[in-house]
A and B are shown apart, each in its own frame.
Chain A
């Protein structure tokens, strides 16, 4: 329990740091892009919307920095992230809450899958060095050196297109109403196959290499020799003794690199015009929609922190030592 509480406190601290960073970026940077946006949209914005933008971006220069900071937090607690310019009369929080489920579904599931498959291959490659799985490594290195979004482009060029079963863009067939029926879910799965495959192929090799190297290290430990000496089967030693111990650093590595991976996978959404957070970030960037960009950054950070916490729980379940000391 103590371990979890410590991690939780750390994530709260990180959240605070991210929000504070978000508070300072528009205030420190030269130029004042948001006021020009406001003046461009003069007649369309309500005074409430203008006020919330002022609080978010520090346009009210008369206030002291501290007062601005307090006001910023108060507004965040109300869930008010300002008004999106791209999707005009919709507030940012609403735009994000529409797109977040798509991203969590696509990126979440594929990240976990790629971790599991990559780790399994890594166990094989590390246990039987020089086998065919080991010879996969150069190929996977090449694939992971390709930017995710480019692999997506190639996938569209090769597999999607007129007459192909794979759709090249969108999250579901236009015209369908989002609902929990089999038409919609089938269409959503069909649309997510190519982006998911793209993410899987390019993110898997990192886990594979990490797990392979850990297996190689663990395989020379004394307890492995003892397990062999006891006459246990090779399979049992590989999975219950070596893989179980090699897995631990890989899980904590998983937690640490989530931030990197999520950044890369968001771009796959852009290529496939997938209706998730990444695609909206792209649209926000195109339109200089600063409230939307900042809101998305916050939401992504929070999601990554939650995912990290879950990875810590998994670590706790896998490693009895952390439970005992708590």
Chain B
């Protein structure tokens, strides 16, 4: 997770962070806090997640039918009256999905919160304290990491008779904190020897204060991404549990719909509308959460961005691919022009590669032989 400064800054002083002494620090710092929303992936993910949250709240009220209402329209294909068709008892599948959203979101959120609290407690404690406490805590989290989580969750919930949403969420939360704890521990280890932490220790701040006010704020991104990761896992596990019929079948969630679809041979009857919408609902929720996670990752480590990494146009119309660790070199004209002229082009020369001075500098000779940037 350590971010080494971009090599652009080392190669071209005045182009990287050194080149912006005039920025007013106060306004910049304020805006930075929400900047990751400006990332396309994160924004898309947040919007989709917002739609799901909305339906988790209003779903049961806006559902066109009672999800448990048995009607004579059995196994109807999607139509104007039943957007997603009906099941073997004539229940409306669209209503079932709307009603089921609440359970899915609730379990995901509770499990994510429980697991995140556990992982912060265990990961930060073991990373900050070190020594025997660290050894034993990281041994525990490694054990939880290696033991296959889903079979364990299946066994625990099947022992509890008629497990409801909350119980399922707690079981998932208590078994899936280990990955987050591991990542947090590693980052805390690297943070606790930084100068500013040493300084606050030297001024006699209490340990809890250092952890809460010096270390934790710097872990926000990692905590957020491990929360999102746990929510993805929790939603999947919950739906799986409902699908194999362990958690209570009386409340609706998308797994319950799939459970009935599988149990009533929806496939053999060609009732694709029975299981396709529920699966897509899961997939879009999972994709939205993953996108948020990518957004966080790219926010922390800008190198991972895909956007804008493709080909760009040099001022003279040449295509140049920007890549980290490479200095763009304009090839193909070298044979006709002596090298010295490229380094110091006449001002009238349209190929003056430094024109604009933005991000393209043709420094032939600096990295001769790197053909990474040629076109």
Interface residues of A (CB under 8 A from B): 10-11, 13-14, 17-18, 21-22, 25-26, 29-31, 33, 129-131, 134, 137, 141-142, 144-147, 149-151, 153-154, 156-157, 168, 213, 216-217, 219-221, 224-225, 228-231, 234, 256, 258-260, 262-264, 266-267, 270-271, 281-282, 285-286, 288, 290, 293-294, 296-297, 300-301, 304-305, 308
Contacts and interface: CB of A to CB of B under 8 A. Distances in A.
B339 to A, nearest CB: 17
Contact of B6 (A134, A137, A220, A296): A220
Interface stretch (B61-69, B101-109, B320-328): B320-328
A93 to B, nearest CB: 17
B282 A147 contact: yes
B262 A157 contact: no
A77 to B, nearest CB: 21
Contact of B146 (A144, A263, A305): A305
A11 B146 CA distance: 9
Nearest to B161: A31
20 contacts: A10-B139, A14-B143, A25-B159, A26-B159, A33-B159, A33-B161, A141-B291, A145-B282, A145-B286, A149-B258, A150-B278, A151-B279, A219-B324, A220-B4, A220-B303, A228-B370, A259-B146, A263-B149, A290-B158, A297-B154
Contacts, number: 187
Given A141-B287, A216-B303, A260 B148 contact: yes
Among B272, B276, B278, B304, which residue has the most Cβ atoms of chain A within 10 A? B304
Given A145-B290, A146-B282, A30 B143 contact: no
Interface string B230-270: 00110010011001111000000000001001100001001
SS class of chain A's interface: helix, strand, loop or mixed? Answer: helix
Given A14-B142, A219-B323, A142 B367 contact: no
Among B149, B278, B287, B325, which residue has the most Cβ atoms of chain A within 10 A? B325
B152 A21 contact: yes
B297 interface: yes
B50 to A, nearest CB: 17
Contacts of B4: 220
A219 B155 contact: no
A135 B9 CA distance: 28
A321 B369 CA distance: 31
A262 to B, nearest CB: 5
B364 to A, nearest CB: 14
Given A13-B139, A304-B148, 13 more contacts: A22-B155, A129-B306, A137-B306, A145-B283, A146-B283, A147-B240, A220-B6, A234-B371, A234-B372, A285-B244, A290-B159, A293-B158, A304-B146
A22 B152 CA distance: 9
B38 interface: no
Contacts of A271: 262
Contacts of A149: 240, 243, 258
A174 B15 CA distance: 70
A308 B146 contact: yes
A145 B284 CA distance: 7
A256 B146 contact: yes
B212 interface: no
A311 to B, nearest CB: 11
Question: 3 nearest interchain CB pairs?
Answer: A145-B286, A263-B150, A130-B310
Contacts of B18: none
B289 to A, nearest CB: 8
Contacts of B47: none
A53 to B, nearest CB: 15
Given A141-B290, A157-B272, A229-B370, A147 B236 contact: yes
Interface string B27-61: 00000000000000000000000000000000000
B142 A10 contact: yes
Contact of A130 (B279, B282, B309): B309
B272 A259 contact: no
Nearest to A134: B306
A85 B154 CA distance: 18
A301 B154 CA distance: 14
A30 B291 CA distance: 41
